[in-house]
Amino acid sequence: MYIIEQYKNMNIGLEFIVKKFNDSFEKNNIKKIDTKGEFNPHIHEAIGTDSNLNIENNHILETTQSGYIYNNRVIRSAKVIVNQIEKEDNE
């Protein structure tokens, strides 16, 4: 029972650190890059591709690392997996 209580306390501490970190970013006008929707090479870095017929071509499937913008300048691009649907040749 004591070990479970230690993990609960550690989790509370980590949540506090993450909240302070995010508050500091917000206070200093550092914003997280949105990784929903279409791939934008100016703010996203494609580190891989996959194919999913349920999602539009050239849209982001997964984010592997968050990116950030400071005063409208990218300080770290978001690393993403992009949907690439192969076109069939009908020749």
30-69, pLDDT tens digit by residue? 999 999 999 999 999 999 999 999 999 999 999 999 999 9
Q: Please report, rounded to a whole number, the percentage of residues in the chain having pLDDT higher than 90.
A: 81
Q: Which helix (H) or strand (E) holds 25?
A: helix 2-27
User: Within this chain, do residues 76 and 39 fall inside the same structural domain, yes or no?
Assistant: yes
Is there a domain that residue 91 lies in?
no
What letters, b where the CB count within 10 A reaches 16 and e where it falls short, cover 17-31?
Answer: eeeeeeeeeeeeeee
Q: Could you give the CA distance from residue 82 to residue 42 in angstroms, rounded to a whole number?
A: 14
User: Within this chain, do residues 16 and 54 fall inside the same structural domain, yes or no?
Assistant: no
**In total, how many domains does the chain have?**
2
pTM across the whole model: 0.76
Q: Please report, rounded to a whole number, the percentage of residues in the chain having pLDDT higher than 70.
A: 95
User: Within this chain, do residues 37 and 53 fall inside the same structural domain, yes or no?
Assistant: yes
Q: Could you give the CA distance from residue 72 to residue 88 in angstroms, rounded to a whole number?
A: 40
User: Within this chain, do residues 19 and 59 fall inside the same structural domain, yes or no?
Assistant: no
Q: How deeply is 83 buried, as exposed, middle or buried, from its count of CB atoms within 10 A (0-12, 13-18, 19+)?
A: buried
Q: Which domain holds residue 47?
A: 33-86
